Structure 1
Amino acid sequence: MNKIAQRIQPVMNHTELAALIDGHHTAETRTLTTGAESNPLRLAELRGTLTSEQTLRWSELK
């Protein structure tokens, strides 16, 4: 959490903050072998940003 917290700036808008979180999460999940595909899909589900293709793939992985 500290890695991402130190990169957040007060002048960031919602889009910039979302991009920062996405980039951080992508970088972190690349180091994991287990759940490398499911972790980003789970995050997108929690954030409500799943596309129809991602929804289909996420339902297959569950």
Structure 2
Amino acid sequence: DALRTAKQDHRRCERCWRQTGLSAHQDVYTEKKTEVNCMIKEARTLHYKTLICENQADPR
């Protein structure tokens, strides 16, 4: 849920920046983009760690 709302906020900031073209809006958009990318990376890492831990006994 947190990732979904962060993505929505990121897209909202991007639309605002593209409509206005202001550098302040671009800075906010860049910060949100970095935040979302970090959250995605952490979620992906957690998913694969969990998958590996659950299947340690299975050599496949």
Q: Which has the higher helix share?
A: 2
Q: Which has the higher contact order (CA 8 A, sep 6+)?
A: 2
Query: Which interval holds the TM-score relative to the shorter structure?
Result: 0.3 to 0.5
Which structure is larger by alpha-carbon Rg, 1 or 2? 2
| TM-score normalised by length of structure 1 | 0.40
